[in-house]
Amino acid sequence: MQRRRITIEGRVQGVGCRPFVYRLAADFRLTGKVRNDTVGVTIEVQGQPEALDGFVGRLQDNSRDDYPALMTIADCGFETITLIPDETAFSIAESDAAGQLVSQVTPDSATCTACLAEMNDTNDFRHRYPFINCTHCGPRYSIVQTIPYDRPNTTMATFEMCGTCRRQYEDVADRRFHAQPVACPACGPKIWLADKSGITVETDSDAVIAKCAEVLRSGGIAAIKGIGGFHFAVEARNEQAVAELRNRKRRDAKPFALMAASVEVIKEYAVVDALSEKLLKSPEAPIVLLDKRTPNAIAPSAAFGTDRFGFMLCYTPLHYLLFAEPRIDVLVMTSANLSDEPLICKNEQAIDELGEIADVFLMHDRDIFRQVDDSVVHEVSGQAAFLRRARGFVPSPIIHKQSAKSEIFAAGADLKNTFCFVKDRQLLMSEHIGDLADGRVYRHYTRSVEHLQKLFDVKPTVVVCDLHPGYLSTHFAEQLDNVKLLRVQHHWAHIASVLADFDESGPVIGLVADGTGYGTDGAIWGCECLIASLTEFQRFGQLAYYPLAGGDKASKEAVRPLVGLLGEEGLTENADLLAAIEPDADKLKMIAMQIEKSVNVAQASSLGRLFDAAAALLGLGTVNRFEAELPMALEAAIETGIEGAYPIELFDRQGVWNLQYTPIIQGMILDMRSGVSKGVIAARFHNSICEGLLALAQKARQMTGIVETALSGGVFCNRYLANRLIGRLQQDGFRVLWKKSIPVNDGGLSLGQAAIAAALIEKM
């Protein structure tokens, strides 16, 4: 006989781990106990060595059908301990809240098929209950206040379980054994319908759902409270309703997310391949970007200017009940806020701030402790690629082999902000926060930092931020007391984020493409070839500098980078083309004069602004009403099957290889004057950028012998460019590192900052 203490770390709380262990011990006829603690789950088992070995093997075999769907073991260790001779049974012990917090918090999860079946079963006591859940699904991160993950530490603490729920909770054979949010109509949260003034108009659950559906069918706007916050919903095929939502929400152009109840419905409007279907049906249930079918019945203004829809499936019981109503087929389901402000999750705040937008409010009384946006993914090179990492994925950490010497806080960037804590081997990234220039988003950022720091009991002694002196995230980091402050160049952090995602240290050839990053020379970087590791980097190549006039206006008005790219001679030769883009001749003269006299002008290697200029040149628009609107239109314009490209020129400028933009711009203009279609020109432009980046990587490999490349930056959200460049690099013998678990845009930057800080501390 032996007794072993087994410690497992990872996503092991709130996922049915303890009941699984209980049943596993019974299968192998072992005695002992299991409990949650601040590290994860600790198991003590006693029995014959062969049985103990079998138990440990089954514990880690996630291929079996009986394995908890949401459980992920990151580390499993055991030791032999003293026997307890008179022990006769296996039990689930009370959780241990003592010690340093290391345990993971499980993300919120979409409703499982078993719960859906019960919800639709007229004989089940949870028939049509909007909050049905079990150990395999339901709210987790959005309701947990502290760990261990037990009911008293969640917002469900205010709901006392009835006898029936309690019996299921305590029955080891039941799917709800130790399911912390377990509830039913007799003892759990309830829904009601309120008008725009907050006055309750219906409390009967079925009537609430039916009346909300009637509002949507009649073209109204509903604010619906979900797992992570409120959504605005309108009927997606009603152009008048969608346009009215845009008007009230003050969101002129950015595409809206769509929701449907089944993949079969989505396939009527979009192309769904095997990977996309798997993502849609996954427990994480993200928004998945899918190619539009044409023609389709979705309102044109739901997602104009792009060739894709962002679809998600229902992921809460309430969603499913709403979609079961007659003629509720596809809904716009977008964050309930004004413009790009933080998601609203509190009932009172929703009434106060959204009453001028929503016609009705579908509310409930399960408090959301942590608001969480929907995650957004698309498919690149045969794998899921994040555009926004939030609900369903956060706060699952990136686990490294080596522990960090110090606890670290990484402040992230100002656009698409996330932040990151490092504790032991865990890199804990926040969910998508947003753009910090908005005062409400910045306040949400500061509160979020405090919340995650307390949740995981992190006490950073090292803080890392962007090199940009004007970033609000930098200012926040500078104000923290009793810490060592590190500043990291933006594009180095981008490449480091790729290395951190793969738990590698480099060096690699890093290709970074985005709109703006503060360079070590004070210029605006945005298309760089770096030789980078986690401890140092060298700028090997770049897009050649061009003058960018107007500061922040240059990221909105495409004519500003275009004037700088054309140069004085190009402005004269192409006055007719410019007049079509910007009829205001005085404005063009002013921008040209700014550049000539260097007034509010920066030197830039921004690839994002080059994409803006190319889109404007092709007549696809002149203003980015939301980030990357023009580049998205340029990608959508591409004619498929075009392999041609404009000439590529590299030249050495003071030891840094420069990719010249002039032949690309001149080639586009020549094609335009020759009557070549916009689709062909858009394809050739993209192909040229791809070949230019490939040429820089080839030159870097020739001079360094490095064959690993890492890609990062918001421009690579462009699926055509990313797919083509990855393919070309692989064909040429490069090993390509493409992010697998974090966004390629600035939403992944904090992970790179954190990894650099951890590596630099290791060397100190």
Confidence of residue 92 (pLDDT cuts 50, 70, 90): confident
Q: What is the mean pLDDT of residues 499-506?
A: 95
Per-residue H/E/C for 45-108: EEECHHHHHHHHHHHCCCCCCCCCCCCEEEEEEEEEECCCCCCCCEEECCCECCCCCCCCCCCC
Per-residue model confidence (pLDDT) at position 16: 81
In terms of Cα–Cα distance, which of 352, 260, 115, 255 is closest to 627?
255
Could you read off the pLDDT of 25-66 as tens digits, one per residue? 999 999 999 988 877 899 999 999 999 999 999 998 888 877
- For residue 675, give every residue at least 6 positions away whose Cβ sits within 8 Å of its Cβ, in sequence order, or none: none
Could you read off the pLDDT of 206-215 as tens digits, one per residue? 999 999 999 9
3-class SS of residue 278: helix
Confidence of residue 71 (pLDDT cuts 50, 70, 90): confident
**Which residue, chain included where needed, has tokens 């790729």?**
498
Residues in the chain: 764
Backbone angles phi, psi at 524, to 5 degrees: -90, 110
In terms of Cα–Cα distance, which of 293, 328, 305 is closest to 211?
328
Q: What number of other Cβ atoms are within 10 A of residue 40's Cβ?
A: 22
Where does 97-221 show beta strands of DSSP type E?
191-195, 200-202
CA dist 320 → 51, 313, 314 (Å)? 44, 9, 6
Could you read off the pLDDT of 174-191 as tens digits, one per residue? 889 888 899 999 999 999
Helix segments in 229-338, DSSP class H: 239-249, 263-266, 274-281, 317-323
Enter the tokens of residue 109. 């999860």
Look up residue 607 and give its amino acid: L
Instruction: Report the distance separating Cα 727 and Cα 711, nearest Å.
Output: 12
Instruction: Report the distance separating Cα 410 and Cα 89, nearest Å.
Output: 47
Per-residue model confidence (pLDDT) at position 97: 61
- For residue 461, give every residue at least 6 positions away whose Cβ sits within 8 Å of its Cβ, in sequence order, or none: 406, 407, 408, 482, 483, 484
Q: Virtual CA dihedral for 386, 392, 395, 397, nearest 10 degrees?
A: -60
CA dist 21 → 29, 178, 203 (Å)? 12, 12, 41
Contact assessment for residue 411 and residue 477, using Cβ atoms and an 8 Å cutoff = yes
Peptide bond into 507 cis (omega under 30): yes
3-class SS of residue 445: helix
**Which residue, chain included where needed, has tokens 């990234």?**
429
pTM of the model: 0.92
- For residue 440, give every residue at least 6 positions away whose Cβ sits within 8 Å of its Cβ, in sequence order, or none: 341, 342
Could you read off the pLDDT of 524-536 as tens digits, one per residue? 999 999 999 999 9
In terms of Cα–Cα distance, which of 454, 448, 467, 460 is closest to 409?
460
Confidence of residue 15 (pLDDT cuts 50, 70, 90): confident
Concatenating the DSSP letter of every residue in 489-545 gives -HHHHHHHHHHHHHT----EEEEEEEEEEE-TTSSEEEEEEEEE-SS-EEEEEEEPP
Instruction: Report the distance separating Cα 637 and Cα 456, nearest Å.
Output: 46
Per-residue model confidence (pLDDT) at position 103: 55
Q: What number of other Cβ atoms are within 10 A of residue 269's Cβ?
A: 24
Helix (H) and strand (E) counts in the chain = 22, 31
Q: What is the mean pLDDT of residues 489-504?
A: 97
Could you read off the pLDDT of 444-490 as tens digits, one per residue? 999 999 999 998 889 999 999 999 999 999 999 999 999 999 999 99
Mean pLDDT score of the chain: 93
Instruction: Report the distance separating Cα 466 and Cα 750, nearest Å.
Output: 9
Instruction: Report the distance separating Cα 755 and Cα 465, nearest Å.
Output: 12
Enter the tokens of residue 239. 């152009």
3-class SS of residue 243: helix
Contact assessment for residue 539 and residue 523, using Cβ atoms and an 8 Å cutoff = no
What domains does the chain contain, in order, with CATH numbers? 2-92 (3.30.70.100), 191-376 (3.90.870.40), 542-737 (3.30.420.40)
Could you read off the pLDDT of 523-576 as tens digits, one per residue? 999 999 999 999 999 999 999 999 999 888 999 999 999 999 999 888 999 999
Enter the tokens of residue 57. 């093997």
Look up residue 573 and give its amino acid: E
Concatenating the DSSP letter of every residue in 646-710 gives ----EEEETTEEEE--HHHHHHHHHHHHTT--HHHHHHHHHHHHHHHHHHHHHHHHHHH---EEE
Per-residue model confidence (pLDDT) at position 174: 83
Instruction: Report the distance separating Cα 619 and Cα 104, nearest Å.
Output: 50
Per-residue model confidence (pLDDT) at position 126: 97
* DSSP secondary structure code for residue 288 in this structure: E
Instruction: Report the distance separating Cα 371 and Cα 394, nearest Å.
Output: 11
Backbone angles phi, psi at 130, to 5 degrees: -75, -5
Q: What is the mean pLDDT of residues 719-747?
A: 97
Residue 552 burial (C-beta neighbours within 10 Å; 0-12, 13-18, 19+): exposed
Contact assessment for residue 540 and residue 657, using Cβ atoms and an 8 Å cutoff = yes
**Which residue, chain included where needed, has tokens 């829809």?**
309
Q: Is the pLDDT of residue 99 over 80?
A: no
3-class SS of residue 10: strand
Could you read off the pLDDT of 323-361 as tens digits, one per residue? 999 999 999 999 998 777 888 999 999 999 999 999 999
